[in-house]
Amino acid sequence: MFTKILIANRGEIACRVILTARKMGIQTVAVYSDADKDARHVELADEAVHIGPAPSRDSYLQADRIIAAAKQTGAQAIHPGYGFLSENAGFARRVEEEGLVFIGPKHYSIAAMGDKIESKKLAGAAGVNCIPGVNDAIETAEKAVEIAKGIGYPVMIKASAGGGGKGLRVAFNDKEALEGFTSCRNEARNSFGDDRVFIEKFVEEPRHIEIQLIGDSHGNVIYLNERECSIQRRHQKVIEEAPSPFISEATRKAMGEQAVALAKAVKYESAGTVEFVVGKDQSFYFLEMNTRLQVEHPVTECITGLDLVELMIRVAAGEKLPLAQKDVQRKGWAIECRINAEDPFRNFLPSTGRLVRFQPPRETMFAAGEPSPQP
């Protein structure tokens, strides 16, 4: 087992990883920018290394500085948290090449699932239900209309590199498909530097349900039930709950088994999430795979009694998963709400405003009834 790990992140997720590492007797190294020198994650860690100025592109996204900080402090492994470099296959490979351990999936698994078009092809080959559509990049608006008519309206026009609702349009007729393709492609080029666009069937009355996975380096992969993420605002999740109040036991099992099949197809290790869109008849189709820990991981921990960060660390250290599929529990129900502030006088633009008072409830639940670790 590792004796010291570095957390290549900040804020809540860095604090979360530090608490589990402390519980496991592992020392931690925080990294921080100029803006975060007095942040809580810096205070909680055993050591802290300054990695640059406030803009994240000059600090938390600087792979060389993060790797140098790990070597300087004697850390044996790096946990990327979520966001920043967590799904960067190049960073994961660099960490390995420098003789360190990346506490996450292998770089080839991240790369395989990082492109929406290629990941759908891999999913189909692994026997995972995929939404009817064309997964190859479409070159012209006229071709987009022809394909949309073949699939049958309504259709979704999506950017291959998209995310967070950017580069996504729904079309109900030829005119909307023509205009949607052009605007989607332009937005994708401007937002992601990648204008590849594909088309798939739009599932009506959809639900967004995701399966939590964990795999090890010995070929074992299990699913840890699902999370319901259907309540969204501007394509961003607002409410996440586990388990889903909608799907049946049979659907849960089928989704879980398909998610595991996909993970095994890309030799997946560590924690990951396979996202599905589920129709009103409980038909389900693959959306994408997130090759990292999710923001909403605590709701899964609450109903399973498992510490996902601990499992990630143990798997990265070469240990086998301590449980099989039959051992996964589902007790109780958990919910997570992301606080959203918008300015109604500015067309509901996101607005953090000034936080005058914040009084969180006392923590009484961590991993299904265990007392939460104290800083």
Domain layout of the chain by residue ranges: 4-103, 132-201, 207-350
Q: What is the structure's pLDDT at 363? A: 66
Q: Which residues contact 208 (CB under 8 A, 6 or more apart)?
A: 228, 229, 230, 232, 237, 275, 276, 277, 278, 287
| CATH code for the structural domain at 4-103 | 3.40.50.20
Question: Residue 368 pLDDT > 60, yes or no?
Answer: no
Q: How would you list the strands of the sheet with 27-33, edge to edge?
A: 47-52, 27-33, 4-7, 77-79, 101-102
Question: What's the mean pLDDT in 332-353?
Answer: 86
C-alpha span between 109 and 106 (Å, rounded): 5
CATH number, domain 132-201, options 3.40.50.11600, 3.40.1370.10, 3.30.1490.20, 3.30.420.40: 3.30.1490.20
Q: What is the structure's pLDDT at 203? A: 86
- Please give the biggest Cα pair distance in the chain: 61
Mean pLDDT of the chain: 91
The topology under which CATH files domain 207-350 is: D-amino Acid Aminotransferase; Chain A, domain 1 (3.30.470)
Q: What is the structure's pLDDT at 163? A: 64
Question: What's the mean pLDDT in 283-296?
Answer: 94
Which tens digit of pLDDT belongs to each residue from 175-225? 999 998 998 888 888 877 888 888 988 888 889 999 999 999 999 999 999
Angle (CA) 307-318-103 rounded to 5° is 60
Q: How confident is the model at residue 306 (pLDDT cuts 50, 70, 90)?
A: very high
Question: Residue 367 pLDDT > 50, yes or no?
Answer: no
Catalytic residue among 87, 240, 288, 301: 288
Which tens digit of pLDDT belongs to each residue from 2-27? 999 999 999 999 999 999 999 999 99
Q: What is the structure's pLDDT at 193? A: 81
- 288 is an active site residue: yes
Token reading at 46: 């055993």
CB 132 within 8 A of CB 114: no
Question: Residue 375 pLDDT > 50, yes or no?
Answer: no
DSSP 366: B
Question: Residue 81 pLDDT > 70, yes or no?
Answer: yes
C-alpha span between 73 and 95 (Å, rounded): 15
Range list of β-strands (E), 292-375: 334-337, 342-343, 349-350
Of 68-77, 157-166, 201-210, 320-329, the range with the lowest mean pLDDT is 157-166
Question: Residue 314 pLDDT > 90, yes or no?
Answer: yes
Helix axes 308-316, 11-23, angle to 10 degrees: 70
Q: What is the structure's pLDDT at 366? A: 52
Which tens digit of pLDDT belongs to each residue from 93-142? 999 999 999 999 999 999 999 887 789 889 999 999 998 888 788 889 89
